[in-house]
Structure 1
Amino acid sequence: MNTNLSNKVAYITGGTKGIGFGVAKALLEKGMRVAISGRNLSSAQEAAKSLSSDHSKVLALESDVSSLASEQKALKAVTDHFGQLDVLVANAGVGHFAPIEQLSEEDWKNTIDTNLTGVFHSVKSGIDALKKSQGYIITIASLAGTNFFENGAAYNASKFGLVGFSQAIMLDLRKHGIKVTTIMPGSVATEFNDHVPSDADAWKIQPEDIGKLVVDLLEMHPRTLPSKIEVRPTVPGKG
């Protein structure tokens, strides 16, 4: 991928807030054009408006990544609108946490269908356009993809699976000139799992930090591929 990001096109799932929003903002600042999706169109439109008033730069889309048809429709909208796709940031995710005795089938399926199968849907839907551009796929996993914890059966399974999926497709796709990286953040100050970010989250990774990391990856010399990146707060918080 050419490291000049001006006018390149990125599609970011779960881009209405948190990490996805932070990545979108960072890419726009580099002159890229960005499509963001969320399950609710009005929320995506509101986020897009706050990112830029220039409709030629930001496209708001409604998509449920757990549905292949929904992601196919979204990716078609991206390429129809912008004419290309250079970067896919698979960020959409949910969290359900409970001991196995209390973990419901519904919560299990929702976690796996969004965090793991949803990324499969995004990649499958964007792969042809990314082959044309010799683009970049970045999946947002988690340190929960390597560190298991109590009450994390569904979330750990989804993120362990996502790390494995991402590394496998990295090997599949590099022969086509497509780069794949999975980013595994620790604690990030976002609205994930109904959290409300506040000053108490100052010790955490901020969404703009992940945005900067994504820019760094895209601007790195094409000969080098950081295929898996763990990132965590420098100093752990208390409480």
Structure 2
Amino acid sequence: MRDLTGVVAYITGGSKGIGFGVAKKLLDSGMKVAISGRNKTSLEAATKQLGAGPNILALLSDVTNLENEQNAIAQILEKWGKLDVVVANAGVGHFAPIDELSETNWHQMIDTNLTGAFHTLKASVEALKISKGYFITIASLAGTNFFPMGAGYNATKFGVVGFTQAAMLDLRKYDIKVSTIMPGSVATHFNNNEPSPKDAWKIQPEDIGQLVNDLLNMHPRTLPSKIEVRPSRPDKK
């Protein structure tokens, strides 16, 4: 088991949902964690709830803006001097038949889910080359399974999977590991869901945090580059 004490991570979309679950698990492992988001109030609430003192850093950043992400990475390096792990988690979803999907919603998904992952990697890659670090995207089973009313969302998640796998081939020569995690149903606020006991059958955010922790503990010779994860049993309706 690798000692993760002092390892520095950056998680986009870290104020709630999967990002929050990953942040909590990594903090519990002794890591230093920066979380980012677009909402200052949500970030402050998440930081208070995580309660990790000097090991947590909240950063305002919109992943659709490369300069925002560059500034976020600069603040991490200024505070902790290095960056070891990046989790590109920020994402949005709008679901409608393709003839009803608005151009605004299409671009918001493309810009956040796909271009956002590119911006996060572009901003962090030089730091990861120095640390021989790890870049992880949070994709979705929607990145291999298409469904009605999901044309825009499917397009972004298929794109994230392809982007991550190609980036893995580009970056492993620098000893940077790259993986994508593709969850099924997760108990989060995604798509206006309000987590409640009825979501007990779903993957929990901390389960994805455990997966990230397990990846960081994998022997250096081994790279699980694409991980599909789903609830053990479907919802009993």
CA distance in 1 between counterparts of 2:192 and 2:58 reads 22
Residue 48 of structure 2 is matched in structure 1 by 49
Query: In the aligned structure 2, how far is the partner of 1:237 from the partner of 1:221?
Result: 35
* Map of 2:19 onto structure 1: 20
**1:92 Cα shift?**
0.4
Structure 1 residue 150 displacement after superposition: 0.2
Q: CA separation of 1:53/1:9 partners in 2, compared to 1, >3 Å: closer, same or farther?
A: closer
Contact kept, 8 Å, 1:85 with 1:133, in 2: the verdict is yes
Residue deviations 1:125-152, cap 9 Å, x none? 0001100000000100000000000000
Query: Is contact 1:45–1:61 with CA below 8 Å preserved after alignment?
Result: no
**Alignment gaps of 5+ in structure 2:** none
Offset, 1:212: 0.6
Alpha-carbon shift at residue 53 of structure 1 (Å): 4.6
TM-score by length of 2: 0.98
Amino acid at match of 1:106: T
Q: Percent identity?
A: 66
TM-score normalised per structure 1: 0.97
> 1:130–1:178: 8 Å Cα contact kept in structure 2?
yes
SS in structure 1 of the partner of residue 34 of structure 2: strand
Pick one of 151, 154, 157 that aligns with 2:152: 154
Distance 1:42 1:80 in 2: 23
Aligned residue type for 1:35: A
Q: Which runs of 5+ in 1 are unaligned?
A: none
Cα–Cα, structure 1 residues 212 and 53, in superposed 2: closer, same or farther, change >3 Å?
closer
Give the counterpart letter for 1:138 in structure 2.
I
What is the CA–CA distance in structure 2 between the aligned matches of 1:112 and 1:30, rounded to whole Å? 33
Q: How big is the shift at 1:12?
A: 0.2
Query: How far apart, in 1, do the equivalents of 2:128 and 2:153 lie?
Result: 28
Which one-letter code corresponds to 2:141 in the other structure? L
Deviates more, 1:193-202 or 1:39-48: 39-48
5 Å matches for 1:24-173?
A: 24-54=23-53, 56-173=54-171
Superposed CA RMSD in Å reads 1.0
> What letter matches 1:6 in structure 2?
T
Deviation for aligned residue 1:41? 1.8
How many residue pairs are counted as aligned between the two chains? 237
- Between stretches 37-46 and 158-167, larger displacement belongs to 37-46
Deviations 1:76-108 (A, max 9, x none): 111111111000000000000000111011000
Q: How does 1:167-206 map to 2 (within 5 A)?
A: 167-206=165-204
